[in-house]
Amino acid sequence: MLHDSSLPPFEAVILDMDGLVLDSETTYRQAWRLAAAEVGHPLEEAFLESLFGRHADDVVRSLAAALGPDFDRKRFFQAAERHWFDRIQANGIPQMPGVGTLLNLLRERTTPYALATNSDERYARLCLRLGDLDEVFPIVVTRDQVASGKPEPDVFLEAARRLEIEPEACLVLEDSETGLHAAGAAGMRAVLIQRREGLRESLRRHALMALPSMTDFVEIWQQTVKPKSGEVGLTD
């Protein structure tokens, strides 16, 4: 795969949600920390960050190992959900840097786009609403709408089907290893956007390129892929 600053041709863009479009990971991390504290087991920041982008079953297994033999899955996640709702209802969910600029560029260049997330539809719709993005994505594919979540390719393939574009013509924007594997399994090319340098470098080999922010991707797209005839690109 390429690792330089050029983009291959693509006909559509498919975006992940958590950690890519919305900074929802910060809200999850706080909720898990508070839920663990309720049962007397503080969790380290590095451990909490390691949970993101992984399959739900893997997350549960890791939490069970960290919290010990008395781990009560139902009680823990009920507490986490309570803390999470309290936080997001009070503060909303911030967008990741550059998201608004990218969405404007997608519309300016009439490039079809969709959202594909491992969250269930109820949570995805809530997160998008609290992030002021509830009517922005014409297509939203969630974990509960397909047979299997990431790292299986189902959400990406369903997004391509709804976009009516062949998978190989879709460009995926992701922030996690799980998402990159799912994109690869779907036959799609992926760009990694990951603000954590260590994680970004460790995952670089799985992506066309690895960038620290959405803003960097927008700049590369504007510089290397010129607008088609009749389109007007964004000005600096």
H runs (alpha helix) in 73-117: 73-91, 99-108
**pTM across the whole model:** 0.83
**pLDDT tens per residue, range 109-123:** 999 999 999 999 998
**For residue 70, what pLDDT is reported?**
79
Task: Count CB-CB contacts under 10 A for residue 60.
Answer: 16
Query: Helices 73-91 and 24-38 sit at what angle, rounded to 10 degrees?
Result: 130
Picking from 151, 115, 113, the residue whose alpha carbon sits closest to that of residue 134 is: 115
Q: What's the one-letter identity of residue 9?
A: P
The dotted CATH code for 25-91 is 1.10.150
- Single out the residue of 167, 165, 162, 220 nearest to residue 191, CA to CA: 220
Answer yes or no: CATH 3.40.50.1000 is held by domain 12-23+94-224: yes
Contact indicator for 114, 141 with CB cutoff of 8 Å: yes
pLDDT at 235 (0 to 100): 37
Check residue 226 and give its pLDDT: 67
Residue 234: pLDDT over 50: no
Q: What is the pLDDT of residue 108?
A: 95
Please name the residues in contact with 214: beta carbons below 8 A apart, sequence gap of 6 or more: 20, 96, 97, 98, 99, 101, 102, 173, 193
* pLDDT tens-digit map of 72-103: 889 888 999 999 999 998 999 999 999 999 99
So where are the chain's domains? 12-23+94-224, 25-91
Q: Percentage of the chain with pLDDT > 90? A: 64
| pLDDT exceeds cutoff 80 at 38 | yes
pLDDT tens sequence across 196-229: 888 899 999 999 999 999 999 999 999 886 666 5
